[in-house]
């Protein structure tokens, strides 16, 4: 018996993910702190030796006078035969050191050139793109595994995303310590596994077409062969075969590995197209169609803008390397197909994918403008500000992505929905405004009319929970129905409303505001769906909906939109109910106040009411007659202005308080005072503290 409640696969995956992320952070720290020695010259191996092919402006090489076409013979009298010797000597000298280059010009004349070796950051703009792409893959993988851990293929997909994270993020430094060796091992193993894991996933993808599982182990043979070839090359065992460990052989190995990567994704895309053609189920065919589109949208631009030019000998620039961002379409399309495995979201998948593609393309152009144009201009003012330009560009992309993507999404929605776009776009705003409506009648009519117009349903109804009969809901309003004319009772139990035997089969089954299928009792009247209205785990009511036009079904966007409306409608219904109860209580208090005032007005005892500051808040008719002062004159006046100082002093002396916050009842017998006409009066005075419902003293 397994005493450990968490599956071993989950534990192992969590530990592996934590280890991978920890190594990536340590690697990022080392790469951020590392600087390379740099002379600003691009050296290439030729038959004559290392030849200067390009000299960067304002670089140490240009300052020293190195010219294109010159051949490097030695550094500090140490012979330089190839790029390996050159790199070893440069790192041995280190940044900010002095060196003497021995050069041979085209005229065969040699000269010694003093060069002040500069420093160059190891982290480049391409690293920033790779990090963004890596975390994009990891984020999608985590989202899928958390959102649908029990869905088929989700674990396999997460392993692909984790492997891609390692491929794009990991990069060892020339320091070559223990961490760099681990980083190199992880990145090389991940690079070998990524294409075959993807191919394996494509062979298993969809529930209907699962053929090829028995042949899956054969996919890993090319990965093992390429790994063995690379290890033999690194160890020098391929020298006799014409592959020494030099720059030309390294370029050849890079080309072989790039072909291996692109071939894996292209074969996967072709396999998805083939499985789409063989699929018998319409849902599966449509899903395969858009998943294959997502794969091609990722690998095709990368192959055209990076792989093909690189194989033809082009030197990779930032624009070429930026094309790797297109690879993000591959996990995005598969993630959506895994989490939302149904036909209803194919249109949504296409629109969202198109929105991300267009927005990413626009922002890539902005990024290139920042880095290439403004960066070059800024180099004339501050040559060391290259990292600042990258940071500003990355910040600008982060700030602009959401609004640009939302704007593009709105344009696509308007194109797809046409006349319904304004209704759908305004539904959420309408839902937020619902909470300001406090009339149940107007509220129910507004909800039904807006839902009917947005989703183009001809029939709708609103059922509200019966507070007197738990488990029952009564019909509050209807649209396009005549249920109230054909049924004797407008109260229904939940069993009468819901179809327990036939679940909806729609999205959102695990969320509080879910969509149910209506029972046959309601189907007779034209209601086929019931949308929950839940608040804090309690069912407030339900919205009944008829069928969508032309036999359509609710997509995930429809359900999200309807769920958002249901949440606001539940709050609005609760507010309307609370307002109604408060209104009833307010009417009762108003009647009680009128009753109390009538009692005070009808007695012959003079009554004067004060607040804690001694201001008069009210008096009755008997006080007006006794003191010969109109009520309007004493209202909000101070009691010290009304009575003589000796009267006020007598009251304070008897009550034992300086102010008017009395603790007990006090009586004064035969108190002498004069009214406004100067008539002398001898009265008995009772000073009584007033308290509110919480026993707090409010006056006297």
pLDDT at 611 over 90: no
pLDDT at 670 over 80: yes
How far apart are alpha carbons 375 and 383 in whole angstroms?
A: 9
pLDDT on residue 485: 61
SS (H, E, C) 136-183: HHHHHHHHHHHHCCCCCCHHHHHHHHHHHHHHHHCCCCCCCCHHHHHH
pLDDT on residue 162: 92
Q: What is the chain's mean pLDDT, rounded?
A: 77
Which is more confidently placed, 204 or 529? 529
CATH number attached to the domain at 35-121: 2.30.42.10
pLDDT at 209 over 70: no
How far apart are alpha carbons 243 and 406 in whole angstroms?
A: 52
Cα torsion at 429, 435, 438, 442 (round to 10°)? 30
pLDDT on residue 261: 92
Instruction: Supply the pTM of this predicted model.
Output: 0.51
Which is more confidently placed, 464 or 214? 464
Handedness of CA 33, 36, 38, 42 (dihedral sign): negative
**Chain segment 2-32, per-residue pLDDT in tens:** 444 446 666 777 788 888 988 988 888 888 8
Q: How confident is the model at residue 191 (pLDDT cuts 50, 70, 90)?
A: very high
DSSP 307: I
Beta bridge pairs of residue 682: 672
pLDDT on residue 280: 61
pLDDT on residue 390: 58
Mean pLDDT of 441-467: 81
pLDDT on residue 50: 86
Distances (CA, A) of 646 to 649, 653, 674: 5, 10, 11
Q: How confident is the model at residue 188 (pLDDT cuts 50, 70, 90)?
A: very high
Mean pLDDT of 623-641: 83
Check: CB of residue 34 under 8 Å from CB of residue 125: no
**Chain segment 101-116, per-residue pLDDT in tens:** 989 888 888 898 999 9
Beta bridge pairs of residue 50: 45, 72
Which is more confidently placed, 353 or 582? 582
pLDDT at 141 over 70: yes
How far apart are alpha carbons 476 and 467 in whole angstroms?
A: 13
Which is more confidently placed, 401 or 328? 328
pLDDT on residue 623: 84
- Highest mean predicted confidence (pLDDT) among 80-89, 191-200, 346-355, 468-477: 191-200
Q: Where are the beta strands (DSSP E) in 489-566?
A: 491-493, 515-517, 529-535, 538-545
Q: How confident is the model at residue 620 (pLDDT cuts 50, 70, 90)?
A: confident
> Of how many residues is the chain composed?
700
- Tokens 């062969």 correspond to what residue? 225
Mean pLDDT of 44-49: 81
Please state which of the ranges 109-118, 119-128, 371-380, 636-645 shows the lowest mean pLDDT.
371-380
Which is more confidently placed, 318 or 263? 263
What one-character-per-residue DSSP string does 87-116 give? HHHHHHH-TT-EEEEEEE-TTS-EEEEEEE
pLDDT on residue 192: 92
CATH number 1.10.10.10 given to 448-500+510-582: no
Q: CA nearest 562: which of 606, 530, 593, 540?
A: 530
Check: CB of residue 410 under 8 Å from CB of residue 359: no
Q: CA nearest 323: which of 352, 294, 348, 299?
A: 299
pLDDT at 307 over 80: yes
Give me the long-range contacts of 419-426 (CB less than 8 A, separation at least 24). 420/454, 420/456, 423/450, 423/453, 423/454, 424/454, 424/561
Beta bridge pairs of residue 699: 611, 690
Beta bridge pairs of residue 544: 461, 530
385 Cβ contact list (under 8 Å, min separation 6): 378, 379
**Chain segment 481-507, per-residue pLDDT in tens:** 777 666 656 778 877 788 765 544 444
pLDDT on residue 189: 92
**Chain segment 216-252, per-residue pLDDT in tens:** 677 888 889 998 988 888 887 887 787 877 777 888 8
pLDDT on residue 139: 84
pLDDT on residue 259: 93
pLDDT on residue 368: 59
**Phi-psi bin for 176: left (phi > 0), alpha (psi -120 to 50), beta?**
left
Environment class of 294 (CB within 10 Å of its CB; exposed 0-12, middle 13-18, buried 19+): buried
| CATH architecture of the domain formed by 604-699 | 2-Layer Sandwich (3.30)
**Chain segment 527-554, per-residue pLDDT in tens:** 888 888 888 778 888 888 888 776 666 6
Q: How confident is the model at residue 170 (pLDDT cuts 50, 70, 90)?
A: very high
392: which 2 tokens? 């500003």
119: which 2 tokens? 């420093």
Check: CB of residue 690 under 8 Å from CB of residue 700: yes
């Amino acid at each position: 018996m397994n005493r450990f409640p968490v599956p071993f696969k989950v534990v192992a995956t969590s530990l592996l993910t934590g280890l991978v992320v920890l190594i990536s952070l340590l690697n990022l720290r080392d790469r951020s702190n590392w600087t390379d020695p740099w002379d600003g010259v691009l050296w290439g191996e030729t038959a004559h030796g290392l030849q200067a092919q390009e000299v960067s402006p304002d670089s140490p090489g240009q300052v020293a006078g190195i010219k294109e076409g010159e051949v490097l013979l030695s550094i500090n009298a140490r012979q330089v035969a190839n790029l390996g010797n050159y790199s070893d000597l440069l790192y041995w000298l280190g940044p900010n050191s002095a060196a003497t280059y021995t050069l041979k010009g085209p005229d065969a004349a040699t000269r010694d050139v003093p060069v002040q070796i500069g420093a160059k950051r190891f982290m480049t703009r391409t690293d920033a793109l790779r990090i963004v792409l890596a975390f994009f893959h990891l984020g999608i993988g985590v989202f899928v595994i958390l959102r649908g851990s029990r869905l088929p293929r989700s674990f396999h997909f997460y392993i692909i995303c984790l492997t891609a994270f390692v491929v794009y993020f990991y990069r060892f430094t020339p320091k070559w310590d223990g961490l760099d060796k681990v980083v190199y091992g992880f990145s090389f193993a991940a690079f070998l596994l990524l294409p075959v894991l993807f191919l394996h996933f494509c062979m298993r993808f969809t529930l209907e077409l699962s053929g090829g599982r028995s042949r899956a182990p054969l996919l890993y043979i090319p990965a093992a062969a390429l790994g063995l070839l690379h290890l033999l090359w690194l160890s020098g065992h391929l020298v006799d075969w014409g592959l020494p460990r030099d720059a030309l052989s390294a370029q050849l190995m890079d080309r072989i590995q790039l072909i291996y990567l692109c071939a894996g994704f292209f074969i996967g895309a072709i396999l998805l197209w083939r499985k789409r053609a063989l699929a018998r189920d319409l849902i599966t065919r449509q899903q395969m169609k858009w998943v294959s589109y997502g794969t091609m949208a990722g690998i095709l631009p990368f192959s055209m803008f990076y792989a093909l030019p690189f194989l033809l000998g082009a030197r990779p620039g930032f624009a070429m390397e930026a094309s790797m961002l297109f690879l993000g379409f591959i996990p995005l399309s598969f993630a959506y197909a895994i989490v939302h495995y149904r036909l209803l979201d194919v249109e949504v998948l296409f629109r969202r994918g198109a929105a991300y593609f267009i927005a990413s393309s626009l922002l890539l152009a902005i990024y290139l403008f920042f880095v290439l144009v403004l960066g070059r201009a800024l180099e004339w003012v501050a040559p060391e500000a290259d990292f600042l330009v990258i940071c500003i560009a990355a910040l600008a992309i982060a700030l602009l992505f959401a609004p640009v993507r939302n704007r593009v999404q709105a344009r696509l929605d308007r194109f797809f929905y046409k006349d319904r776009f304004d209704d759908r776009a305004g539904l959420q705003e309408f839902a937020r405004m619902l909470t300001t409506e406090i009339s149940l009648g107007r509220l129910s009519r507004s909800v039904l009319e807006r839902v009917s117009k947005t989703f183009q349903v001809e029939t709708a109804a609103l059922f509200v929970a019966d507070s007197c009969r738990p488990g029952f809901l009564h019909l509050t309003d209807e649209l396009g129905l005549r249920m109230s004319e054909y049924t004797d009772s407008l109260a229904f139990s939940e069993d009468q409303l819901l179809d327990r035997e036939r679940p909806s089969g729609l999205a959102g089954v695990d969320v509080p505001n879910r969509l149910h299928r209506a029972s046959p009792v309601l189907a007779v009247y034209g209601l086929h769906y019931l949308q929950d209205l839940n608040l804090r785990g309690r069912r407030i009511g339900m919205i009944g909906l008829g069928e969508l036009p032309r036999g359509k079904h609710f997509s995930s966007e429809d359900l999200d939109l309807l769920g958002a409306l249901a949440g606001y409608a539940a709050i609005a219904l609760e507010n309307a109910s609370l307002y109604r109860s408060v209104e009833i209580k307010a009417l009762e208090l108003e009647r009680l106040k009128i009753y109390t005032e009538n009692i005070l007005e009808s007695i012959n005892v003079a009554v004067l009411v004060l607040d804690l500051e001694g201001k008069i808040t009210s008096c009755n008719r008997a006080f007006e007659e006794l003191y010969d002062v109109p009520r309007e004159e004493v209202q909000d006046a101070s009691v010290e202005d009304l009575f003589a100082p000796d009267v006020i002093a007598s009251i304070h002396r008897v009550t034992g308080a300086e102010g008017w916050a009395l603790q007990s009842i006090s009586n004064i017998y035969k108190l002498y005072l004069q009214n406004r006409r100067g008539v002398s009066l001898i009265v008995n005075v009772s000073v009584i503290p007033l308290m509110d419902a919480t026993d707090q003293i409010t006056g006297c």
